[in-house]
């Protein structure tokens, strides 16, 4: 197993670190082609993001199919209830419930099965998966147990399929996030890269199953904080989300979740008054949602009964409510579709008003009791009902400002959940993608920002932190200015192995094997002239078996002077991805005095993030032409 992992890792590292445009073997130029600094970062995450996206797309297909299967056998076969679907995923048709008295039995059975599965195999799979992913990012170095995505998929499919009021985004996010975490471990990536891989999985999973790749990608960077943004996750998330969406769309079709052809448009600035009112109400109701959710969750936590039985109690309560309000069962997207279609014959306004608070209650009971599912989907449904209610009120007072109900429903979805999730940009874009109504982004911006201000620091994701400054993942980042008081000369070490320009290829190979290094500097008369990597050796062995170091070396190397501060050395390492730098007396003459290592810098300040850094492939950089190389093996 270890040999397979090592082979896979070497193959991916070769793919990430070597340019395929090989130089002429007779040329004195290095075989390792020169690349730009940012290109090395993009190449790395292009490959990793693609792998994460593939799993996200396949995972979304599996999870969607699992929900459909469970819905057919629980709600359909037992209770004879087939909820309407949104325009892009089924028929928006209301059918009679053949055996409504069995709804409490179905929801209770679903809760019981969920509790047994979750608390037997992976207790951390209970609740909403997005919050678990946020916690893993901040508190666990991006680590998610491999079994969690599988348990989450099964438990959430049963919860939703049996009528539990939960969303599908959390489980899908955990599937891809779990794979991102596992991939990082497989390739021995450090904690920072594991976090980014996990965040990319969150974006890809949500972007895939909601057919909203842009919003999903941005959500991965925005949902981690209340008032901040994880910009480093954007590129990997965009890549993973595009791949996942493409795979899922090829299977499920390309129609947005809520269909196309509504042709809503923002053409009258006067309607912004109505959307502002919607934002205010969305913010006020947005305060109720998290407080109700966590109050019920805490109440269930205090119950003196086994945890695996609590979801059954929550399911029973949801089923009893479903006898009066079956619209509050399951995900509920089909019911929102009626509001978008301006069809209030199937869903009268008094019922919509009641469903705002009933849906909050059933969601809190389902997930707060230990059921498995997301809070994103129910939040969108609640926001849609809220938008329809506000539209009715405005239409009654000032019909010229109301127009159709559809735009208010769509904007309500974004304003409500964007405010409580503290992810306004992502949710606005996701709603636009899910409804194919990009022209409504303008009123959605106004309503969502108002809702965001009113909700303040109240969030549905309790594991969010206010900013990067408050995240354990970035704690060491803010200790770095202390490095400005230390200098490289205080911590530099002798170079343990080096080459001369005339060193033969077989000698270089033997030295690397003996020292267990993956790169060696080339020194000529005390001056640094280049670097030879293991990849250079592999490439040259096939075409230049008699080559010397000066024929295969890369002449562009990042260096640091002995008088530079450790902060400057750290900055050069982080910008280049290099885990150690040669120390020179002068950057022009490049007289080598020793080397400085990232681990040594970490030890100087006892920075745990640095001390836990594994030796991985690195990037060297010069002001003119960067070069991608590899450093020592483990």
- In degrees and rounded to multiples of 5, residue 351 shows phi and psi of -70, -40
pLDDT average, residue stretch 564-588: 76
The per-residue pLDDT for 528 is 84
Residues of the chain with CATH 3.10.580.10: 7-35+474-628
pLDDT at residue 237 is higher than 50: yes
What is the reported pLDDT for 633?
A: 29
Q: Looking at residue 560, what is its pLDDT?
A: 87
List pLDDT tens digits, range 322-351. 999 999 999 999 999 998 988 888 888 899
Confidence category of residue 170, pLDDT binned at 50, 70, 90: confident
- Cβ neighbours, 10 Å, residue 327: 25
What is the rounded CA–CA span in Å between residue 455 and residue 282?
Answer: 9
Task: Write the pLDDT tens digit of every residue in 396-412.
Answer: 998 888 888 899 999 99
Report which of 512, 566, 581 is spatially closest to residue 541, judged by C-alpha positions.
512
* Tokens, residue 23: 């130089």
Main-chain dihedrals φ then ψ at residue 397, nearest 5 degrees: -90, -45
* Least confident span in 279-293, 359-373, 468-482, 555-569: 468-482
- Longest distance between any two alpha carbons in the chain, whole Å: 90
> Average pLDDT in the 559-580 region?
78
Average pLDDT, the chain: 84
The DSSP bridge pattern shows strands 560-561 and 580-584 to be parallel
CATH architecture, range 40-260: Orthogonal Bundle (1.10)
Q: What are phi and psi of 237, to 5 degrees?
A: -70, -40
Q: Rounded to an integer, what distance in angstroms lies between the CA atom of residue 415 and that of residue 451?
A: 6
DSSP element (H, E) containing 597: strand 592-597
Main-chain dihedrals φ then ψ at residue 86, nearest 5 degrees: -70, 165
Statement: 271-302+320-455 belongs to CATH 1.10.3080.10: yes
pLDDT band of residue 13 (cuts 50, 70, 90) is: low
Residue 577 has pLDDT above 70, yes or no: no
Give the span between the Cα atoms of 322 and 542, in whole angstroms.
71
pLDDT band at 8 (very low <50, low <70, confident <90, very high): low
CA 559/CA 542 separation, integer angstroms = 31
> CA triplet 39, 527, 25: central angle to 5 degrees?
55
CATH topology assigned to domain 7-35+474-628: CBS-domain (3.10.580)
Interaxial angle between packed helices 505-515 and 534-543, expressed in degrees from 0 to 180 and rounded to the nearest 10: 150
Per the listing, tokens 């469970």 go with 70
- Return d(Cα 308, Cα 249) in angstroms, integer: 36
Q: In this predicted structure, what is the pLDDT of residue 479?
A: 62
Q: Could you read off the pLDDT of 265-287 as tens digits, one per residue?
A: 888 898 999 999 999 999 999 99
- What lies within 8 Å, CB to CB, of 470 at 6+ separation is none
Q: For the chain, where do the domains classified as CATH 1.10.3080.10 start and end?
A: 40-260, 271-302+320-455
């Amino acid at each position: 197993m270890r040999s397979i992992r090592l082979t896979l890792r070497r193959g991916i590292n070769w793919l990430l670190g070597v340019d395929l445009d090989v130089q002429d073997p007779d040329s004195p130029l290095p075989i390792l082609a020169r690349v730009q600094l940012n290109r090395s970062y993009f190449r790395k995450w292009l490959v990793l993001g693609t792998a994460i996206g593939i799993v996200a797309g396949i995972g979304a297909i599996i999870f969607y199919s699992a929900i459909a299967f469970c819905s057919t056998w629980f709600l359909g076969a037992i209770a004879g209830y087939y909820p309407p679907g949104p325009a892009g995923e089924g028929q928006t048709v209301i059918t009679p419930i053949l055996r409504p008295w069995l709804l409490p039995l179905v929801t209770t059975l679903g809760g019981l099965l969920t509790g047994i599965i979750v608390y037997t195999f992976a207790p951390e799979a209970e609740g909403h998966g997005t919050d678990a992913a946020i916690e893993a990012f901040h508190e666990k170095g991006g680590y998610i147990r491999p079994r969690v995505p599988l348990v989450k998929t099964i438990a959430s499919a049963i919860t939703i399929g049996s009528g539990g009021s939960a969303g599908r985004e959390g489980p899908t996010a955990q599937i891809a996030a779990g794979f991102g975490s596992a991939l990082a471990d497989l390739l021995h990536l450090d904690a920072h890269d594991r976090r980014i891989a996990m965040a990319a999985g969150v974006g890809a999973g949500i972007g895939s199953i909601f057919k909203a790749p842009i919003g999903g990608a941005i959500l991965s960077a925005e949902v981690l904080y209340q008032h901040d943004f994880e910009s480093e996750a954007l590129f990997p998330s965009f890549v993973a989300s595009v791949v996942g969406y493409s795979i899922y769309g090829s299977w499920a079709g390309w129609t947005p979740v809520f269909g196309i052809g509504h042709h809503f448009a923002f053409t009258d600035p006067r309607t912004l008054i109505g959307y502002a009112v919607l934002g205010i109400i969305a913010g006020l109701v947005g305060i109720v949602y998290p407080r109700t959710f966590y109050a019920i969750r805490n109440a269930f936590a205090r119950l003196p009964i086994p945890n695996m039985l609590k979801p059954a109690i929550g399911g029973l309560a949801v089923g009893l409510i479903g006898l009066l309000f079956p619209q509050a069962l399951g995900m509920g997207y089909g019911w929102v579709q009626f509001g978008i279609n301006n069809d209030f014959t199937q869903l009268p306004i008094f019922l919509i008003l009641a469903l705002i608070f009933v849906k909050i209650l059933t969601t809190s009971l389902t997930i707060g009791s230990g059921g498995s599912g997301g809070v994103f989907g129910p939040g969108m449904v609640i926001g849609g009902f809220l938008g329809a209610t506000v539209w009715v009120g405005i239409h009654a007072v000032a019909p010229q400002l109301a127009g159709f109900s559809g735009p208010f429903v769509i904007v309500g979805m974004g304003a409500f959940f964007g405010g409580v999730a503290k992810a306004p940009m992502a949710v606005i874009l996701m709603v636009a993608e899910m409804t194919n109504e990009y022209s409504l982004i303008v009123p959605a911006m106004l309503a969502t920002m108002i809702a965001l201000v009113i909700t303040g620091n109240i969030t549905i994701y309790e594991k969010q932190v206010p900013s990067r400054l408050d995240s354990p993942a970035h704690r060491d980042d803010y200790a770095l200015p202390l490095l400005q008081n230390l200098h490289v000369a205080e911590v530099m070490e002798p170079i343990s192995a080096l080459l001369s320009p005339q060193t033969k290829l077989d000698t270089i190979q033997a030295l690397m094997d003996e020292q267990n290094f993956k790169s060696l500097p080339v020194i000529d008369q005390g001056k640094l002239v280049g670097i030879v990597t293991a990849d250079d050796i592999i490439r040259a062995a096939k075409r230049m078996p008699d080559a010397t170091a000066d024929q295969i070396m890369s002449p562009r190397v990042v260096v640091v002077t002995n008088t530079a501060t450790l902060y400057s050395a750290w900055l050069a390492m982080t910008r280049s991805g290099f885990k150690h730098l040669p120390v020179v007396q002068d950057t022009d003459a490049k007289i080598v005095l020793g080397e400085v290592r990232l681990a040594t810098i970490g030890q100087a300040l006892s920075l745990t993030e640095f001390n836990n850094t594994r030796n991985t492939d690195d990037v060297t950089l010069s002001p003119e032409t960067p070069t991608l190389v590899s450093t020592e093996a483990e």
